[in-house]
Amino acid sequence: MTRCVLVQPIDASGVALLEGAGVQVVQAPDTALPVLAPLLGGADAVITRNWGFPAAAMDLAPRLRVIGSHGTGVDRIDLPAARARGIRVVNTPGANAPDVAELALGLMLALARQIGAADAAVRAGDAGWRLRSRGLALRGQCLGLWGWGHVARALAPMAQGLGMRVVVLSAHADPAELAALGLARAQDAADLLAQADVLSLHGVPGARPSLGADQLAALRPGALVVNTARGALVDEDALVLALQSGQLGGAALDVTVTEPLPMDSPLLSCPNLILTPHIGGSTDRALAATAQAVARAVLEALG
């Protein structure tokens, strides 16, 4: 019988699709390689989430034909190793995009209105906090979208609904489409950074972070940064320095370079920083849609 190992849990509706097609589904209790080893030995397919799938895991799975990514990102999967072994990698672009966009919007609002600090003030009995603090009205501000994928496309009209001006940086976006949607197109990264009051990242990681020390310094003083895409897009050390110096007004990260975040990370003690544990697609609707999408993709790849 064809076997699919779930490296990390997925919604029951995705499991039902696999089992309905005659696939034996095995849930791994842990991502430690010694735990995975006896399960992967007979695996024809695996489904993973933010853990990815390293070459060392592929070495444990001689029958492996397909790796399914529960989500858009495949950067934590060792793609060269998969290609060398003839293993197909499939993902689910766009399945959870509206939900990730909602989180990005929520993080923007939480930063702009200092919701976390306000909550802490109430709990501490600091009645004077509201007299000392001023939030940022997003209405009339510029949202810079670095990338024009599914999530950015969903976020743009949400921001417009708040009265924000939206500027997009993308080499692939159709200028006519952007104009029809009432969006501006940035000429280059410098142009985007010079305009953005709020910067939301939606790109694909490259050899080095898109947002490093030079890019952070080019942002307007007090700008806000939101990353719900990939942790590798941000130079975390440079971000810490920009927040500590007050150059940035705040930042929110749903993704980090290392997940879960190590307890000795300087991000944990950084001022004006909101951290969430990669929950952009963690709604009932999104989890079901993504699980079903990855199950269908795996079944198609298995033939």
Domain count of the fold of the chain: 2
Q: What is the pLDDT of residue 204?
A: 84
* Domain co-membership, 150 together with 265: yes
Of 230, 200, 303, the C-alpha closest to 72 is 230
- 267 and 127 in a common domain: yes
Q: Based on the fold, state whether residues 176 and 152 are members of the same structural domain.
A: yes
For residues 142 and 288, membership in a common domain is answered with: no
Instruction: Collect the ranges in the chain with pLDDT lower than 70.
Output: 207
Q: What is the torsion angle, in degrees rounded to the nearest 10, for the CA atoms of residue 235, residue 238, residue 240 and residue 246?
A: -130
Asked if 161 and 183 sit in the same domain, the reply is yes
Same domain, 111 and 170: yes
Residue 70's DSSP bridge partners are none
Strands (DSSP E) contained in the chain are 3-6, 24-27, 45-48, 66-69, 88-90, 142-146, 165-169, 184-185, 198-201, 223-227, 248-253, 273-275
Pair (60, 202) in one structural domain: no
Looking at the structure, tell me whether residues 227 and 102 fall in a common domain.
yes
Q: In terms of residue numbers, what domain contains 249?
A: 97-275
pLDDT of residue 205: 82
Do both 224 and 121 map to the same domain? yes
- CA distances to 114, 124, 153, 222, 260 from 272, rounded to whole Å, are 9, 18, 27, 11, 20
Tens digits of residue pLDDT in 85-139: 999 999 999 999 999 999 999 999 999 999 999 999 999 999 999 999 999 999 9
Is 270 in the same domain as 223? Answer: yes
pTM of the model: 0.92
| Catalytic residue numbers, as ranges | 230, 259, 278
Instruction: Say yes or no: 236 and 87 in one domain.
Output: no
CATH of the domain at 86: 3.40.50.720
Closest by Cα among 221, 202, 192, 216 to 156: 202
115 burial (CB, 10 Å; 0-12 / 13-18 / 19+) is middle
